[in-house]
Amino acid sequence: MTFGSRLSAAIGEHGPLCVGIDPHPGLLAKWGLDDDVAGLETFTMTVVEALAGRVAAIKPQAAFFERHGSKGVAVLERALEGIREEGGLSVVDAKRGDIGSTMSAYADAFVGESSPLAGDAVTVSPFLGFGSLRPLLDLAAANGRGVFVLALTSNPEGGEVQHAVPSVSSVSSGPKTVAQNIIDAVAAENAGAGPLGSVGVVVGATVTGAGREHDLSALNGPILAPGIGAQGATADDLREVFGPALRHVLPNSSREVLGAGPTVAGLREAADRTVEAVSLALRA
């Protein structure tokens, strides 16, 4: 099955929610854990135990593992294995982006068939040109994995690049923003796919103003929407931001759910509440 098919089935079974694993020092402290590899592993594997196979997807943020060096990366590998063993879907939030042989190496690492760092999908940055992603897009498709391409991020600085109108576009004619060209390029990757394409975009649930004017209607792929909860977006904001594309939205919540730890029961209750809230918003 393609990633799009697997994700569509997981959303149908568990509801539309991706939970991030963001073991930053503040959350480790809140759980009573030290900011070291042992604390990292306890935190991470508790989240995996609580939620793998119970929410549509789990998204480990690679940076919080890499900051602990090779032992931290080993914890990320164990987390991905644990999610897989529980029948869950994983999205490695790595935001990689480069060109040529370097991009091919990132592809091997994050969507390669036998790589221990490969999840079911990976996030990538297209701001060296969408075509620079080709090695990873092709390998992901060959291995049934997914890709989430940054398009409209939730940070205020993102608009400097994403809302700019380039003088040259390889995707479409006419004046369109960088973000819209990325969205259109992703739509082209997903053309004819069903029930859902395997290439998605990342669009922050907190985007405002010009960010809400972009057209996602032809995407035919999943929209990973961070920002629910601690970053300020509510489930009701989803309708305002995504409009007709709501049916493809996969909201992401990290601290809102993770803050309910350190118990498995607390994490599950928080995830269930969030699923209920976003499901109501998306249905409305």
Integer Cα distance of 56 and 14 in angstroms: 6
Section 253-272 average pLDDT:
95
pLDDT at residue number 168: 65
CATH 2.70.150.10 fits 3-283, yes or no: no
pLDDT at residue number 241: 82
State the average pLDDT for the chain.
93
As a whole-number percent, the residues of the chain with pLDDT over 90 amount to 79
pLDDT at residue number 223: 97
Q: Are 189 and 137 in contact (CB under 8 A)?
A: yes
List Cβ neighbours of 270 (8 Å cut-off, separation of 6 or more).
256, 257, 259, 260
Would you kindly state where each structural domain of the chain is located, as residue ranges? 3-283
pLDDT-derived band at 231, boundaries 50, 70, 90: low
For 197-226, letters b (16+ CB in 10 Å) and e give bbbbbbbbbbbeeebeebebeebbbbbbbb
pLDDT at 213 over 90: no
Cα 69 to its chain centre, rounded Å, is 23
Residue of 198 and 166 predicted with greater confidence:
198
Q: Are 206 and 231 in contact (CB under 8 A)?
A: yes
pLDDT at 172 over 80: no
In this prediction the pTM is 0.94
pLDDT-derived band at 135, boundaries 50, 70, 90: very high
Task: List, for residues 47-87, the tens digit of each pLDDT value.
Answer: 999 999 999 999 999 999 999 999 999 999 999 999 999 99
Q: Backbone phi, then psi, for 91, in 5-degree steps?
A: -125, 115
Integer Cα distance of 85 and 3 in angstroms: 17
Which are the catalytic amino acids? 95
Q: Are 257 and 271 in contact (CB under 8 A)?
A: yes
